[in-house]
Amino acid sequence: MQLPLFSGTEKAVKSPFTLPLPEAHVRYYPQWLTTEQANLYKKRLVESLPWRQDSLRMFGKSIPIPRLQSWHGDANCHYTYSGLSLSPAPWTKELAAIRDLCSAEVGAHFNSVLANWYRDGQDSMSMHADDEPELGPAPTIASVTLGEARPFVFKHKETKARHVQVLEHGSLLVMSGSTQHHYFHGIAKTTKPIGDRINLTYRQLILPD
């Protein structure tokens, strides 16, 4: 693994594993980044991204989403989800460096990333699947967590079976194959006093020529 912001070659101590999810393919890499790398990336991303609180239109009302976000990618990567249309901000040094680490790990190309900043336990992401047509039928999504560990909930669309994986500081979660077809996922609110968390989901949008 290449470490663009560091000269050291520390390796993760915990091994990656596949989550026990029928009809999905999800791999979890704890300590994918060292604590030192993850701390530095988090600090730089908090300071440098153009964070904004977007709103979704639901039931004729404009509802602010419970987190801040920032959408980045190649110039043509326009993305629409839940009625919200996002135009890409350019790649920053940190987002591009982490993208290249993800590509090297996963063997896939990513042309865009959604950054989410959960400021505290009241920030959340409701259950959803990343199944927008522009992601294609079987997207590979690389999700990097920086900051507070939060439970990531999977729910099978038909059987309703649930599985929880706590996503730790510096971890990588890779969802691929038919995962989005069969499962919802999300981050619940908590009343516990907790710190903030950044999540980066690297994606490959399939764009018309």
Ligand X SMILES: O=C(O)CCC(=O)C(=O)O
Q: Give me the residues that bind ligand X (CB under 6 A), please.
A: 114, 116, 125, 130, 143, 152, 167, 185, 187, 199, 201
Consult the annotation and say whether 154 binds a ligand.
no
Contact region with Mn ion (CB under 5 A), list: 5-13, 44-52, 63-71, 130-138: 130-138
Consult the annotation and say whether 28 binds a ligand.
no
Cite the DSSP H helix spans in the chain.
35-48, 93-106, 179-182
Contact region with Mn ion (CB under 5 A), list: 10-18, 24-32, 128-136, 187-195: 128-136
For ligand X, give the closer residue by CB, 143 or 204. Answer: 143
- Round to the nearest angstrom and report the end-to-end CA distance of the chain: 33
Angle at 25 between CA 126 and CA 33, to 5 degrees: 75
For Mn ion, give the closer residue by CB, 37 or 79. Answer: 79
Q: Which amino acid is at 127?
A: M
Interface with Mn ion includes 130 (CB under 5 A)?
A: yes
Q: Cβ 87 to ligand X, closest distance in Å?
A: 17
Consult the annotation and say whether 170 binds a ligand.
no
Contact 182, 124 (CB under 8 A): no
Q: Cβ 31 to Mn ion, closest distance in Å?
A: 22
Contact 196, 120 (CB under 8 A): yes
Q: Which residue in 40, 45, 43 sits closest to 5, CA to CA?
A: 40
Q: Which residue's CB atom is positioned nearest to ligand X?
A: 199
Which tokens is 66 given? Answer: 């419970």
Residues lying near Mn ion in the complex (CB under 5 A): 130
